[in-house]
Amino acid sequence: MAAMLERIALHQTRLRTPGLGLDGKGVALGAKGLVLLPSIDRLVAWLAVYTRERSLEDLLPSLEIRLVRSKLGTREITLEFAAESSDRMDRIAETGRLVGGFTFTGTSRHFVQYRDAAAPFGYDAGQLLTTDAALALYHDKFTQVYEVEKEIEIRSLLLRLMPHVDPSTTEESGLRYVVAEQGLGPALIHYFVRSRVDAEVGVAEWPPSSAFDEGPTRRYVFKVPDLPARMRPLLQGTPGLTTFLPAGPGIGVEVGYRHPVALRACPIFDPQGMVFLRGRGDEPWTVEKLPQLGDIRAFARVEMREVGQTESIATGTGQAPPVRVPLRVVPSSAAWKNVTASWVSPAEIPLLRKIAYALPQRTIANTRIAVTAHGAFLRCPQGIEAIPLGVFFVEFHTQLFIPAGYEVTPAVSPEVLHRALGAPSSMAVFITREARALSIEESAFVPLENALLEAKPWEPIMAEAIERALEDAPVDLQVAPLGLFPMGGAEPPPEEAPNTIRQLPPGMPPADPMVR
């Protein structure tokens, strides 16, 4: 029958359902929460959805799963747990609606429908049923009483669930457990030892499967931190060998299968033991406590000499002969790196003088030179390629140089080679293509700009006496203002007498052909 539920209003304080109160948000909340599910598969669906993103660790202390029966004889599943807060109830109610269940809240026997979109603050029962039943549920669609038929243990439920086929688990890496039948255990130990696979092994015992068995069933349990990919198909397809992937603390699932519930979110198995869930509907293998595990190399096959063979005793001892090979310089295909020095032969020094006029100031300032009887040695920490002359050298060590495009053999480290040459730290050593070592004192290297420029000798020039030039009186020039009438103070030139012949400068013709 339909229940007479009342929507709780904001700031409402009086409620009829026993144990029902309001939390800090004004939501009706009892001490417990309850989810009603129609069948066992809906229960598995609820567990699968809830554990996909959340853990059951906070629910397990108060979680109770029961099989209940109504007056009509129908059997359903209830999950009862501590409500604690409306946030927890909201998450559980959302999961319950997804799988087709109903969520309630209450305290003892009477549970009312938990809040939904129609009643944001929850519901209250308008009239309570008079019943001795274990549960009385009030919903806006029905009111029903239930009797508890039996308890369902969640651990037993998870172990009874059959894993689903999932081939993708065969490609997963990481820790694996391999359970081998008694006859295959020693052979698998030797196989792992020959293949250089790190693993630990122990022997576990199970009670005899039938009265016809003489003793307990023994199986080898291998713990392999990282099984090579090439071995996975072999171990999975060999009869008598079963491989498991850890699915959580104390539980593993056979490779090729996946449990419908996220077992890592269900910390109910003892981590000191191990439960192996097998596929194909086979019963699980449970080891209450893992056996003592040892390194598989301790169980490898031991071979001994024949009895009677005498040991060979040395009659004398001495120092082993030195193992020394000559140093060689061979061509290398590696790219040139750290080319900071060059060797200019004596015949190329005149060409170096000509190139010096084209070198930039920065190159000249950063380059140091040492002139020897074998030629000039140039060094530049920023790179010597700017001076395209001579044989380039790579800085193999701080004070050791080898030709560019070559390498030394044996391929020893630079420190070992420098120590073998025995050159002090004040010497720069150049190894030629013929494996000759040429050493130069560091003090012999001077800045190139100091050794490059050749200054001409200077000659004195006598200055002439300048007393005569100083005797001439200086010209005094004055500038007077013109005023308003610039030509006011000018006088006309004197008039010439008539019939006066002016004397013209030589070579200048008269201005008029008529002479007055």
Per residue in 181-218, pLDDT tens?
988 999 999 999 988 999 999 999 888 877 677 778 89
Position 55, amino acid: S
Measured at the CA of 203, the angle between CA 249 and CA 267, to 5 degrees, comes to 10
Higher pLDDT, 18 or 66: 66
| pLDDT tens-digit readout, 439-492 | 899 888 999 888 877 666 667 766 666 666 666 666 676 767 766 766 666 667
Q: Given this model, what pLDDT does residue 416 score? A: 85
Listed by start position, the domains of the chain span 5-152, 162-299, 328-452
Name which of 209, 201, 208, 206 is nearest 184 in CA terms.
Answer: 201
Where do the H-state alpha helices sit in 332-389? Answer: 349-355, 361-366
Angle between helices 86-98 and 40-53 (to 10 degrees): 130
> Residue 34 — very low, low, confident or very high, per pLDDT cuts 50/70/90?
very high
pTM metric for this prediction: 0.57
What letter does residue 196 receive in the DSSP assignment? T
Cis peptide bond prior to 414, omega within 30° of 0: no
Q: What is the 3-state secondary structure (H, E, C) of 407-425?
A: EEECCCCHHHHHHHHCCCC
CA atoms within 13 A on the CB side of 14: 1
Q: What is the pLDDT of residues 290-341, one digit of tens each?
A: 888 889 888 776 666 666 656 677 666 666 667 777 888 889 888 888 898 9
Question: In this structure, how many other beta carbons lie within 10 angstroms of the beta carbon of residue 169?
Answer: 17
pLDDT tens digits along 142-163? 899 999 999 999 999 999 999 9
Residues 6+ apart with CB under 8 A from 157: 43, 44, 65
